[in-house]
Structure 1
Amino acid sequence: MTDLQPTEIAVSLERLRRVPTDELTDVVENDGLCLWTFTCAPPWEEDGELTDRDLAELQCAGCSVRDECLELELRTAGADTVGVWGALTEHERREVHRHWLRRRERVERGPRS
């Protein structure tokens, strides 16, 4: 996983909590490197030597909307996530999703009195 732990990743996404999903979708579709750079299978998929972690890092390297991409995938796919989104593997995103969901539930409940 990246240097950040699942809880830290969930915290870092908190700034995107109020961004509407349709706006996140537009940003990811318009600015996500993977959506316009790889119109066919990326060249590294052919050799089969890379791990899922390697693929996630390569495919998302230099992308300016990694957080937005991850936030969008957590919202729309949740624990059923597949592929590479936000520079994380499926397994990593499932781990982050648990922490992300707990944080969102706490925010919804509000502060305890």
Structure 2
Amino acid sequence: MNRDKYEETAAHLDRYADVPDEVLAEVVTRDGLCFWAFDRSEIPELSGMDTPDRELAARMCAGCPVIDECLELELRSAGEDTVGVWGALPDTDRRRVYRAWRERRMRLEGGEQG
């Protein structure tokens, strides 16, 4: 992913800015495929290499109806400390998205248009 893609992903999440954390958590745990479609002990671990990890994250989350909500929730709750796969992204990509997301939210909260 490049910087523009991280910023585009962050901008895509703006629609969730006013959704309470507890609502996001309920939706993700209720509808997220990883919470009910997989035996969590069988989920493969990330390799630490960008391309294989992106491919694994995309496969693990394929067809999940709450990818965006999941990503928003993880950015809010873990921020730079994120690990694993959330929102169809490996942790390395989420850390980069987080930076763009945080900057956008600071601007939005300050009343500026993104």
Structure 2 unaligned blocks of 5 or more: none
Q: Which residue does 2:22 correspond to in 1? A: 22
Q: Which residue does 1:111 correspond to in 2? A: 112
Coordinate RMSD, CA, aligned: 2.2
Distance in 1, matches of 2:88 and 2:33, equals: 11
Alignment CA distance shift 1:23-1:54 (3 Å): same
Distance in 2, matches of 1:111 and 1:96, equals: 20
The more displaced of 51-60 and 66-75 is 51-60
Structure 1 runs of 4+ off > 2 angstroms? none
Report the alpha carbon displacement of residue 100 of structure 1 after superposing the two structures with TM: 0.2
Distance in 2, matches of 1:20 and 1:100, equals: 17
- Give identity over the alignment, percent: 52
Q: Which residue does 2:42 correspond to in 1? A: 41
Q: Which residue does 2:100 correspond to in 1? A: 99
Report the alpha carbon displacement of residue 102 of structure 1 after superposing the two structures with TM: 0.2
Report the alpha carbon displacement of residue 73 of structure 1 after superposing the two structures with TM: 0.2
Alignment pair present for 1:11 and 2:11? yes
Distance in 1, matches of 2:99 and 2:5, equals: 12
The residue type equivalent to 2:33 in the other structure is: L
| Larger Cα-atom Rg | 1
Report the alpha carbon displacement of residue 111 of structure 1 after superposing the two structures with TM: 3.4
Alignment CA distance shift 1:54-1:18 (3 Å): same
Distance in 2, matches of 1:31 and 1:62, equals: 11
Structure 1 unaligned blocks of 5 or more: none
Report the alpha carbon displacement of residue 110 of structure 1 after superposing the two structures with TM: 1.2
Q: Which residue does 1:55 correspond to in 2? A: 56
Distance in 2, matches of 1:33 and 1:88, equals: 14
The residue type equivalent to 1:67 in the other structure is: D
